[in-house]
Amino acid sequence: MQKIVIDAREIGTTTGRYIENLLEELQEIDTDLTHRYYILMYPKTLATWQPKSKRFIKVACRFKEFTFGEQLGLLWQLLVIQPDLVHFGMVQQPILYMGKVVTTMHDLTTLRFDNPSKNPLVFRFKQQVYQVVNFIAAHKSKAVIVPTEFVKDDVARTMRTNSRKITVTYEAGDKIGAKAEPLPELTGTQFILYVGRPNPHKNLARLIEAYALLKQTMPHVHLVLAGRSDALFKRFERDVERGNIPDVHFTDRVSDGQLRWLYEHAAVYVFPSLSEGFGLPGLEAMANDAPVASSNATCLPEVYGNAAHYFNPVSVDDIAAKVKDILTDEKLRKQLVARGHKQVAKYSWRRMAQQTLDIYKSILNEP
Protein backbone atom coordinates (compact mmCIF):
# COMPACT_ATOMS: atom_id res chain seq x y z
CA MET A 1 0.00 0.00 0.00
CA GLN A 2 1.23 3.48 -0.88
CA LYS A 3 0.09 6.37 1.30
CA ILE A 4 -0.57 9.70 -0.42
CA VAL A 5 -1.36 12.71 1.76
CA ILE A 6 -3.15 15.68 0.19
CA ASP A 7 -3.24 18.93 2.14
CA ALA A 8 -6.82 20.14 1.71
CA ARG A 9 -6.92 22.71 4.50
CA GLU A 10 -8.01 25.33 1.95
CA ILE A 11 -11.26 23.55 1.08
CA GLY A 12 -14.11 26.06 1.23
CA THR A 13 -12.03 28.97 -0.11
CA THR A 14 -11.36 30.19 -3.65
CA THR A 15 -7.99 28.42 -3.65
CA GLY A 16 -9.72 25.37 -2.21
CA ARG A 17 -11.76 24.88 -5.38
CA TYR A 18 -8.59 23.60 -7.03
CA ILE A 19 -8.20 20.92 -4.35
CA GLU A 20 -11.91 20.06 -4.33
CA ASN A 21 -11.90 19.41 -8.07
CA LEU A 22 -8.64 17.49 -7.85
CA LEU A 23 -10.08 15.22 -5.16
CA GLU A 24 -13.32 14.64 -7.05
CA GLU A 25 -11.50 13.67 -10.24
CA LEU A 26 -8.83 11.55 -8.53
CA GLN A 27 -11.53 9.36 -7.01
CA GLU A 28 -12.78 8.66 -10.53
CA ILE A 29 -9.50 8.12 -12.37
CA ASP A 30 -7.10 6.53 -9.87
CA THR A 31 -7.92 2.83 -10.11
CA ASP A 32 -4.71 1.66 -8.45
CA LEU A 33 -5.97 -0.18 -5.38
CA THR A 34 -2.56 0.13 -3.71
CA HIS A 35 -3.04 3.91 -3.39
CA ARG A 36 -4.61 5.13 -0.16
CA TYR A 37 -5.24 8.86 0.22
CA TYR A 38 -5.19 10.78 3.50
CA ILE A 39 -6.96 14.14 3.11
CA LEU A 40 -5.91 16.77 5.67
CA MET A 41 -8.75 19.15 6.55
CA TYR A 42 -9.47 21.65 9.30
CA PRO A 43 -11.84 20.15 11.90
CA LYS A 44 -14.47 22.79 11.12
CA THR A 45 -14.56 21.78 7.44
CA LEU A 46 -14.57 17.99 7.83
CA ALA A 47 -18.32 17.81 7.26
CA THR A 48 -18.21 19.94 4.10
CA TRP A 49 -16.59 17.28 1.90
CA GLN A 50 -17.53 13.61 1.75
CA PRO A 51 -15.34 11.10 -0.11
CA LYS A 52 -16.95 8.73 -2.60
CA SER A 53 -14.15 6.20 -2.35
CA LYS A 54 -13.15 4.23 0.74
CA ARG A 55 -9.52 4.77 -0.25
CA PHE A 56 -9.91 8.49 0.50
CA ILE A 57 -9.76 9.09 4.26
CA LYS A 58 -10.43 12.43 5.91
CA VAL A 59 -7.94 13.41 8.62
CA ALA A 60 -8.47 16.34 10.99
CA CYS A 61 -5.60 18.82 10.90
CA ARG A 62 -5.89 21.76 13.30
CA PHE A 63 -2.63 23.48 12.37
CA LYS A 64 -3.19 26.79 10.61
CA GLU A 65 -1.00 28.02 7.79
CA PHE A 66 1.85 30.41 8.59
CA THR A 67 2.04 29.30 12.22
CA PHE A 68 4.55 27.48 14.39
CA GLY A 69 1.87 24.82 14.72
CA GLU A 70 2.14 24.21 11.01
CA GLN A 71 5.90 23.98 11.17
CA LEU A 72 5.99 21.64 14.17
CA GLY A 73 2.54 20.11 14.70
CA LEU A 74 1.86 19.33 11.04
CA LEU A 75 5.41 18.03 10.70
CA TRP A 76 4.77 15.60 13.54
CA GLN A 77 1.38 14.60 12.09
CA LEU A 78 3.05 13.70 8.80
CA LEU A 79 5.76 11.73 10.55
CA VAL A 80 3.07 9.71 12.32
CA ILE A 81 1.19 8.97 9.08
CA GLN A 82 4.47 8.04 7.33
CA PRO A 83 3.28 8.89 3.82
CA ASP A 84 5.03 7.80 0.64
CA LEU A 85 4.12 11.16 -0.93
CA VAL A 86 2.65 14.46 0.26
CA HIS A 87 0.92 16.93 -2.06
CA PHE A 88 0.69 20.42 -0.62
CA GLY A 89 -2.04 22.24 -2.55
CA MET A 90 -0.49 25.57 -1.55
CA VAL A 91 3.05 26.59 -0.77
CA GLN A 92 2.49 26.70 3.02
CA GLN A 93 4.07 23.59 4.54
CA PRO A 94 6.52 22.39 7.22
CA ILE A 95 9.88 23.35 5.77
CA LEU A 96 11.66 20.63 7.78
CA TYR A 97 9.61 17.80 6.28
CA MET A 98 12.02 15.92 4.02
CA GLY A 99 9.83 13.18 2.56
CA LYS A 100 8.72 13.09 -1.07
CA VAL A 101 6.74 16.26 -1.73
CA VAL A 102 4.72 17.77 -4.59
CA THR A 103 3.86 21.45 -4.16
CA THR A 104 1.30 23.49 -6.07
CA MET A 105 2.47 27.10 -6.33
CA HIS A 106 -0.50 29.14 -7.56
CA ASP A 107 1.40 32.41 -8.00
CA LEU A 108 3.84 34.77 -6.27
CA THR A 109 1.38 37.66 -5.90
CA THR A 110 1.57 37.79 -2.10
CA LEU A 111 5.27 38.60 -2.30
CA ARG A 112 4.62 41.72 -4.37
CA PHE A 113 1.61 43.48 -2.86
CA ASP A 114 0.90 44.88 0.60
CA ASN A 115 -2.37 44.47 2.46
CA PRO A 116 -3.56 47.78 3.96
CA SER A 117 -5.94 46.00 6.34
CA LYS A 118 -2.99 44.38 8.13
CA ASN A 119 -0.36 45.82 10.45
CA PRO A 120 2.35 46.88 7.94
CA LEU A 121 5.28 45.68 10.07
CA VAL A 122 3.68 42.32 10.80
CA PHE A 123 2.61 41.86 7.19
CA ARG A 124 6.09 42.74 5.87
CA PHE A 125 7.62 40.20 8.27
CA LYS A 126 5.16 37.55 7.05
CA GLN A 127 6.06 38.40 3.46
CA GLN A 128 9.71 37.71 4.23
CA VAL A 129 8.81 34.40 5.85
CA TYR A 130 6.61 33.56 2.87
CA GLN A 131 9.54 34.31 0.54
CA VAL A 132 11.70 31.82 2.44
CA VAL A 133 8.95 29.16 2.45
CA ASN A 134 8.45 29.59 -1.31
CA PHE A 135 12.17 29.26 -1.96
CA ILE A 136 12.56 26.15 0.20
CA ALA A 137 9.39 24.53 -1.19
CA ALA A 138 10.49 25.16 -4.77
CA HIS A 139 13.83 23.49 -4.14
CA LYS A 140 12.94 20.58 -1.89
CA SER A 141 9.82 19.46 -3.77
CA LYS A 142 10.26 16.56 -6.14
CA ALA A 143 7.81 18.32 -8.46
CA VAL A 144 6.17 21.74 -8.57
CA ILE A 145 2.73 22.22 -10.12
CA VAL A 146 1.65 25.62 -11.45
CA PRO A 147 -1.56 26.75 -13.22
CA THR A 148 0.00 28.65 -16.17
CA GLU A 149 3.15 29.04 -18.23
CA PHE A 150 3.43 32.58 -16.84
CA VAL A 151 3.68 31.25 -13.27
CA LYS A 152 6.12 28.54 -14.38
CA ASP A 153 8.50 31.14 -15.77
CA ASP A 154 7.98 33.41 -12.75
CA VAL A 155 8.69 30.65 -10.21
CA ALA A 156 11.73 29.33 -12.10
CA ARG A 157 13.22 32.83 -12.39
CA THR A 158 12.29 34.26 -8.97
CA MET A 159 13.01 31.13 -6.94
CA ARG A 160 16.03 30.18 -9.06
CA THR A 161 14.87 26.62 -9.50
CA ASN A 162 15.02 24.23 -12.45
CA SER A 163 12.04 24.75 -14.76
CA ARG A 164 12.16 21.06 -15.76
CA LYS A 165 10.69 20.07 -12.40
CA ILE A 166 7.74 22.47 -12.90
CA THR A 167 4.58 21.21 -14.63
CA VAL A 168 1.72 23.38 -15.87
CA THR A 169 -1.71 21.89 -15.14
CA TYR A 170 -4.37 24.32 -16.33
CA GLU A 171 -7.48 24.61 -14.18
CA ALA A 172 -11.03 24.95 -15.56
CA GLY A 173 -14.15 27.10 -15.38
CA ASP A 174 -17.53 25.54 -14.72
CA LYS A 175 -21.13 26.35 -15.52
CA ILE A 176 -22.86 26.82 -12.17
CA GLY A 177 -25.38 24.03 -11.65
CA ALA A 178 -27.57 25.73 -9.07
CA LYS A 179 -30.83 27.30 -10.22
CA ALA A 180 -30.47 31.03 -10.90
CA GLU A 181 -31.74 33.21 -8.02
CA PRO A 182 -32.42 36.88 -8.91
CA LEU A 183 -31.22 39.70 -6.68
CA PRO A 184 -34.35 41.89 -6.47
CA GLU A 185 -32.45 45.16 -6.11
CA LEU A 186 -30.71 44.52 -9.46
CA THR A 187 -33.62 43.15 -11.49
CA GLY A 188 -34.20 45.31 -14.53
CA THR A 189 -30.90 47.20 -14.25
CA GLN A 190 -27.89 47.15 -16.56
CA PHE A 191 -24.85 46.39 -14.45
CA ILE A 192 -21.11 45.82 -14.60
CA LEU A 193 -19.98 42.92 -12.41
CA TYR A 194 -16.87 42.03 -10.43
CA VAL A 195 -16.71 38.85 -8.33
CA GLY A 196 -13.87 38.13 -5.95
CA ARG A 197 -11.77 39.48 -3.15
CA PRO A 198 -10.89 43.17 -2.65
CA ASN A 199 -7.13 42.70 -2.09
CA PRO A 200 -4.91 45.48 -3.48
CA HIS A 201 -3.72 43.50 -6.51
CA LYS A 202 -7.35 43.07 -7.59
CA ASN A 203 -7.24 46.77 -8.52
CA LEU A 204 -10.77 47.67 -7.41
CA ALA A 205 -9.86 51.29 -6.70
CA ARG A 206 -9.20 51.89 -10.40
CA LEU A 207 -12.30 49.91 -11.38
CA ILE A 208 -14.44 52.19 -9.21
CA GLU A 209 -12.73 55.27 -10.69
CA ALA A 210 -13.39 53.94 -14.19
CA TYR A 211 -17.02 53.32 -13.30
CA ALA A 212 -17.39 56.88 -11.98
CA LEU A 213 -15.95 58.13 -15.28
CA LEU A 214 -18.29 55.90 -17.28
CA LYS A 215 -21.25 57.04 -15.21
CA GLN A 216 -20.85 60.56 -16.61
CA THR A 217 -21.99 59.44 -20.07
CA MET A 218 -23.99 56.33 -19.11
CA PRO A 219 -25.88 57.32 -15.94
CA HIS A 220 -28.18 54.29 -16.00
CA VAL A 221 -25.36 51.73 -15.53
CA HIS A 222 -24.76 50.15 -12.10
CA LEU A 223 -21.64 48.52 -10.63
CA VAL A 224 -21.89 45.28 -8.62
CA LEU A 225 -19.02 44.14 -6.41
CA ALA A 226 -19.74 40.62 -5.18
CA GLY A 227 -17.68 39.02 -2.44
CA ARG A 228 -17.62 38.36 1.27
CA SER A 229 -17.64 41.63 3.18
CA ASP A 230 -14.41 42.25 5.07
CA ALA A 231 -12.30 45.17 6.28
CA LEU A 232 -11.03 45.94 2.77
CA PHE A 233 -14.48 45.87 1.18
CA LYS A 234 -15.74 48.16 3.95
CA ARG A 235 -12.97 50.62 3.05
CA PHE A 236 -14.22 50.69 -0.51
CA GLU A 237 -17.78 51.19 0.71
CA ARG A 238 -16.64 54.25 2.68
CA ASP A 239 -14.68 55.56 -0.32
CA VAL A 240 -17.74 55.21 -2.57
CA GLU A 241 -19.89 57.01 0.00
CA ARG A 242 -17.37 59.82 0.45
CA GLY A 243 -17.01 60.18 -3.31
CA ASN A 244 -20.78 60.30 -3.69
CA ILE A 245 -20.65 57.64 -6.44
CA PRO A 246 -24.21 56.34 -7.00
CA ASP A 247 -25.48 52.86 -7.85
CA VAL A 248 -22.53 50.83 -6.51
CA HIS A 249 -23.79 47.59 -4.93
CA PHE A 250 -21.74 45.60 -2.40
CA THR A 251 -23.52 42.25 -2.21
CA ASP A 252 -21.48 40.51 0.50
CA ARG A 253 -21.35 36.71 0.06
CA VAL A 254 -23.82 35.36 -2.52
CA SER A 255 -25.22 31.86 -3.01
CA ASP A 256 -24.32 29.76 -6.05
CA GLY A 257 -27.76 30.49 -7.49
CA GLN A 258 -27.34 34.23 -6.99
CA LEU A 259 -23.86 34.09 -8.52
CA ARG A 260 -25.21 32.30 -11.57
CA TRP A 261 -27.90 34.98 -11.97
CA LEU A 262 -25.31 37.75 -11.65
CA TYR A 263 -23.12 36.23 -14.37
CA GLU A 264 -26.04 35.56 -16.69
CA HIS A 265 -27.43 39.09 -16.35
CA ALA A 266 -24.19 41.08 -16.24
CA ALA A 267 -23.78 43.50 -19.13
CA VAL A 268 -20.01 43.10 -18.64
CA TYR A 269 -17.89 41.07 -16.27
CA VAL A 270 -14.78 43.13 -15.46
CA PHE A 271 -11.54 41.61 -14.16
CA PRO A 272 -9.10 44.48 -13.49
CA SER A 273 -6.45 42.45 -11.63
CA LEU A 274 -2.79 43.45 -11.64
CA SER A 275 -1.55 39.93 -10.90
CA GLU A 276 -3.05 36.45 -11.19
CA GLY A 277 -1.88 32.87 -11.31
CA PHE A 278 -4.81 31.66 -13.42
CA GLY A 279 -7.77 34.06 -13.25
CA LEU A 280 -10.52 31.56 -12.53
CA PRO A 281 -13.35 34.13 -12.02
CA GLY A 282 -13.09 35.41 -15.60
CA LEU A 283 -13.21 31.89 -17.01
CA GLU A 284 -16.18 31.10 -14.75
CA ALA A 285 -17.91 34.24 -16.03
CA MET A 286 -17.41 33.01 -19.61
CA ALA A 287 -18.84 29.60 -18.70
CA ASN A 288 -21.95 31.37 -17.40
CA ASP A 289 -22.59 33.54 -20.48
CA ALA A 290 -21.00 36.83 -19.41
CA PRO A 291 -18.89 38.90 -21.83
CA VAL A 292 -15.52 39.61 -20.23
CA ALA A 293 -13.40 42.77 -20.13
CA SER A 294 -10.03 41.88 -18.64
CA SER A 295 -6.73 43.30 -17.57
CA ASN A 296 -3.90 42.37 -19.91
CA ALA A 297 -1.55 41.69 -16.96
CA THR A 298 0.43 38.57 -16.11
CA CYS A 299 -1.24 35.27 -17.13
CA LEU A 300 -4.66 36.59 -18.17
CA PRO A 301 -4.14 36.76 -21.96
CA GLU A 302 -2.67 33.24 -21.78
CA VAL A 303 -5.80 31.88 -20.10
CA TYR A 304 -8.53 33.95 -21.80
CA GLY A 305 -7.07 34.00 -25.33
CA ASN A 306 -9.25 35.98 -27.76
CA ALA A 307 -12.33 35.62 -25.55
CA ALA A 308 -11.79 38.83 -23.55
CA HIS A 309 -11.68 42.53 -24.42
CA TYR A 310 -8.37 43.64 -22.87
CA PHE A 311 -7.36 46.89 -21.18
CA ASN A 312 -4.33 48.35 -19.46
CA PRO A 313 -5.13 47.83 -15.75
CA VAL A 314 -3.24 50.93 -14.60
CA SER A 315 -5.17 53.23 -16.95
CA VAL A 316 -8.56 54.29 -15.61
CA ASP A 317 -9.41 55.78 -19.00
CA ASP A 318 -8.64 52.52 -20.80
CA ILE A 319 -10.68 50.44 -18.34
CA ALA A 320 -13.67 52.76 -18.84
CA ALA A 321 -13.25 52.78 -22.63
CA LYS A 322 -13.07 49.00 -23.01
CA VAL A 323 -16.07 48.44 -20.72
CA LYS A 324 -18.01 51.05 -22.71
CA ASP A 325 -17.12 49.22 -25.95
CA ILE A 326 -18.99 46.15 -24.72
CA LEU A 327 -21.89 48.13 -23.30
CA THR A 328 -22.49 49.94 -26.57
CA ASP A 329 -21.57 47.30 -29.18
CA GLU A 330 -24.02 44.40 -29.22
CA LYS A 331 -22.06 42.61 -31.95
CA LEU A 332 -18.89 42.69 -29.82
CA ARG A 333 -20.83 41.49 -26.80
CA LYS A 334 -22.26 38.46 -28.64
CA GLN A 335 -18.85 37.73 -30.14
CA LEU A 336 -17.21 37.70 -26.70
CA VAL A 337 -19.88 35.40 -25.26
CA ALA A 338 -19.44 32.93 -28.14
CA ARG A 339 -15.65 33.04 -27.90
CA GLY A 340 -15.91 32.61 -24.13
CA HIS A 341 -17.78 29.33 -24.52
CA LYS A 342 -15.09 28.05 -26.89
CA GLN A 343 -12.30 29.17 -24.56
CA VAL A 344 -13.85 27.47 -21.53
CA ALA A 345 -14.12 24.21 -23.49
CA LYS A 346 -10.32 24.12 -23.82
CA TYR A 347 -9.92 23.45 -20.10
CA SER A 348 -10.70 20.33 -18.07
CA TRP A 349 -10.48 19.44 -14.37
CA ARG A 350 -10.25 15.79 -15.42
CA ARG A 351 -7.15 16.49 -17.55
CA MET A 352 -5.63 18.52 -14.69
CA ALA A 353 -6.19 15.61 -12.29
CA GLN A 354 -4.73 13.07 -14.74
CA GLN A 355 -1.59 15.17 -15.14
CA THR A 356 -1.32 15.38 -11.36
CA LEU A 357 -1.80 11.63 -10.94
CA ASP A 358 0.92 11.02 -13.53
CA ILE A 359 3.25 13.16 -11.41
CA TYR A 360 2.36 11.12 -8.30
CA LYS A 361 3.06 7.84 -10.08
CA SER A 362 6.37 9.07 -11.46
CA ILE A 363 7.59 10.10 -8.00
CA LEU A 364 6.23 7.00 -6.24
CA ASN A 365 8.05 4.78 -8.75
CA GLU A 366 11.39 6.48 -8.11
CA PRO A 367 13.91 4.27 -6.27
DSSP of 83-113, one letter per residue?
-SEEEESSS---TT--S-EEEE---SGGGT-
Q: How confident is the model at residue 367 (pLDDT cuts 50, 70, 90)?
A: confident
Taking the C-alpha atoms of residue 294 and residue 312, their distance in angstroms, rounded to an integer, is 9
Alpha-carbon span 95 to 26, nearest angstrom: 26
**Which pLDDT tens digit goes with each residue over 272-310?**
999 999 999 999 999 999 999 999 999 999 999 999 999
* CATH 3.40.50.2000 given to domain 184-344: yes
pLDDT at position 172: 97
Asked if residue 168 has pLDDT above 80, the reply is yes
Q: Over range 129-147, report the average pLDDT.
A: 95
Could you tell me what percent of the chain has a pLDDT over 70? 100
Q: Is beta strand 101-104 parallel, antiparallel or unpaired with respect to 85-88?
A: parallel
Tell me the average pLDDT across 250-269.
97
Q: Is the pLDDT of residue 167 over 90?
A: yes
Q: Give the contacts of 67 (CB within 8 A, at least 6 positions apart).
A: none
The contacts of residue 41 (CB under 8 Å, 6+ apart) are 8, 9, 11, 49, 58, 59, 60, 61
- Per-domain residue ranges of the chain: 2-172+348-364, 184-344
Would you identify the CATH topology of the domain 2-172+348-364? Answer: Rossmann fold (3.40.50)
Quote the pLDDT of residue 32: 96
| pLDDT reading at 242 higher than 80 | yes
- Report, as an integer, the average pLDDT of 309-314: 98
Q: What pLDDT is attached to residue 66?
A: 84
Mean pLDDT, residues 244-269 taken together = 97
Domain pair 2-172+348-364 / 184-344, same fold: yes
**What is the overall mean pLDDT for the chain?**
95
- 99 and 74 in contact (C-beta within 8 Å)? no
Determine contact, residues 289/266, Cβ cutoff 8 Å: no
pLDDT at 177: 95
Distance CA(301)–CA(203), nearest Å, equals 17
pTM, entire model: 0.94
